[in-house]
Amino acid sequence: MDVSEVTRNLSSLGGAKWDMHVRARALAAAGHPIIELTIGEPDEPMAPALVPAMAQALQAGRVGYSNGRGEAALLDALAARYTARRGRVFSADNFLAFPGTQTALYALMRGLVNPSDEVVVFDPCYATYEGVVAGADATMVSAPLNPDTGFSIDFDALEAVLSPRTRAILLNNPHNPAGSLLDEGACMRLGELAVQRGLWLICDEVYEDLIYDNRPLVSPLNHAAFDGHALGCASISKSHAAPGLRSGWIVGAEEVVGQLVPLAETMLFGNQPFIADATAAALGDSGETAARMRESLRRRAQLVTAALDGVAGLRVAEPQAGMFALVGVGGSDLGLDGHAFASRLLEQAGVAVMPGTSFGAVTQDWIRLSLTVPDEVLQRACDRIAALCA
């Protein structure tokens, strides 16, 4: 028996993007001292509000079935959080609970896009986006970001790839891997484009709390004019250093979010009430975990720039947000692209980084460093990168 076409299409994605990470883990398991800068696992302990709230919920027996939309306390906490941050009023009806941003993205894609549709994804992009689009049996079309303008949106390039089949634009802001931020002008242009062309704007905002200078997030969701086009998703994976709890949500106009409830029921039959309770408590905390992460991530981003920018033909795109820094290796005398460079770095220097090719064609000559290791480890890794190039 054959599995479905979607399953077959997905089988050829994933694996190759993570090969450097898998090789690094295998070397480490074999006893080699590898510095791992591949994935972005928060290096802070999870937010202190989570465990007591979860323990209390478990003791209270909060393990029954939930409902398709999510627990009331969680939806109310989300409404309060977005109302406080986004300059407009949100209610519980604007939200739908999911186990993490990843499932929320899958649901948005399945819920908004038809099989023959095209979805525009910016290049570079987060490594699972290709799979998310393929999972909806849609076609991914890439619009290059411009490394020379801090990986900002190139609207000529974007408009050039729009077609009558375009149904959605998948936006990641703050951006992984570039660590760049959308500005208000670009946000308005994207929103207006979505309204004019009848497109969905799917906004992955999982790094909202990790903007180093803590400025409010610019987002199409902040504007009533884009309601009915802009849908967002996020989670507590990064903000509360709790990716393993799998607690996230969809946010958007009431009518659209309401229509997605049956899809959520089909996928999940409701989230876990004890995780919802803990998430609601954490969303109302002081934000100390995210504040500490912002501080250490900013410091480490500066460390990478100081250690590598301009050294032996390297170029650092210093991030403004998130857990990663992109380093351009195309100018180095080694004459290697990002993948070959990452391979040599792992084999000769014991430093594991992600090759830019895992995120798109634009970053073919780049590598991505995770900033989630202690400063001295990151410094050692940078020294080894510089030494490899020298």
Ligand X SMILES: Cc1ncc(COP(=O)(O)O)c(C=O)c1O
The least CB distance from residue 100 to ligand X, in Å, is 3
The least CB distance from residue 348 to ligand X, in Å, is 28
Q: Which is nearer to ligand X, 42 or 273 (CB)?
A: 42
**Binding track over 284-323 against ligand X, x by CB under 6 A:** ----------------------------------------
The least CB distance from residue 338 to ligand X, in Å, is 18
Q: Is 365 in the site for ligand X (CB under 6 A)?
A: no
Count interface residues toward ligand X (CB under 6 A).
13
Task: Kindly give the pairing relationship between strand 95-98 and strand 248-252.
Answer: antiparallel
**Binding track over 114-153 against ligand X, x by CB under 6 A:** ------------x---------------------------
Q: What tokens appear for 171 in the block?
A: 């936006």
Q: Is 243 in the site for ligand X (CB under 6 A)?
A: yes
Secondary structure, 3-state, the chain: CCCCHHHHHHHCCHHHHHHHHHHHHHHHHCCCCCEEECCCCCCCCCCCCHHHHHHHHHHCCCCCCCCCCCCHHHHHHHHHHHHHHHCCCCCHHHEEEECCHHHHHHHHHHHHCCCCCEEEEEECCCCCHHHHHHHCCCEEEEEEEEHHHCCEECHHHHHHHCCCCEEEEEEECCCCCCCCCCCHHHHHHHHHHHHHHCCEEEEECCCHHHECCCCCCCCHHHCHHHCCCEEEEEECCCCCCCHHHCCEEEEECHHHHHHCHHHHHHHHCCCCHHHHHHHHHHHCCCCHHHHHHHHHHHHHHHHHHHHHCCHHHCEEECCCECCEEEEECCCCCCCCCHHHHHHHHHHHHCEEEEEHHHCCCCCCCEEEEECCCCHHHHHHHHHHHHHHHC
User: Cα(95)–Cα(113) distance, rounded to whole angstroms?
Assistant: 19
The least CB distance from residue 290 to ligand X, in Å, is 14
Q: Of residues 166, 180, 222, 235, which one binds ligand X by CB under 6 A?
A: 235
Question: ∠ CA(224), CA(225), CA(227), 5° rounding?
Answer: 60
The least CB distance from residue 210 to ligand X, in Å, is 10
Q: Of residues 248, 273, 328, 356, which one binds ligand X by CB under 6 A?
A: 248
The least CB distance from residue 249 to ligand X, in Å, is 9
The least CB distance from residue 170 to ligand X, in Å, is 10
**Binding track over 88-107 against ligand X, x by CB under 6 A:** ------------xxx-----
Q: Is 38 in the site for ligand X (CB under 6 A)?
A: no
**Binding track over 202-231 against ligand X, x by CB under 6 A:** --x-x-------------------------
Q: Which of 41, 108, 18 is nearest to 244 (CA)?
A: 41
Question: ∠ CA(251), CA(252), CA(253), 5° rounding?
Answer: 150
Q: Which is nearer to ligand X, 73 or 108 (CB)?
A: 108
Q: Of residues 38, 142, 173, 176, which one binds ligand X by CB under 6 A?
A: 176
User: Cα(41)–Cα(44) distance, rounded to whole angstroms?
Assistant: 9
Q: Which is nearer to ligand X, 122 or 389 (CB)?
A: 122
Q: Which is nearer to ligand X, 173 or 332 (CB)?
A: 173
The least CB distance from residue 32 to ligand X, in Å, is 25
Q: Of residues 173, 180, 222, 237, which one binds ligand X by CB under 6 A?
A: 237
Q: Which is nearer to ligand X, 68 or 179 (CB)?
A: 179
The least CB distance from residue 202 to ligand X, in Å, is 11
Q: Which is nearer to ligand X, 238 or 350 (CB)?
A: 238
Q: Which residues bind ligand X (CB under 6 A)?
A: 40, 100-102, 126, 172, 176, 204, 206, 235, 237, 243, 248
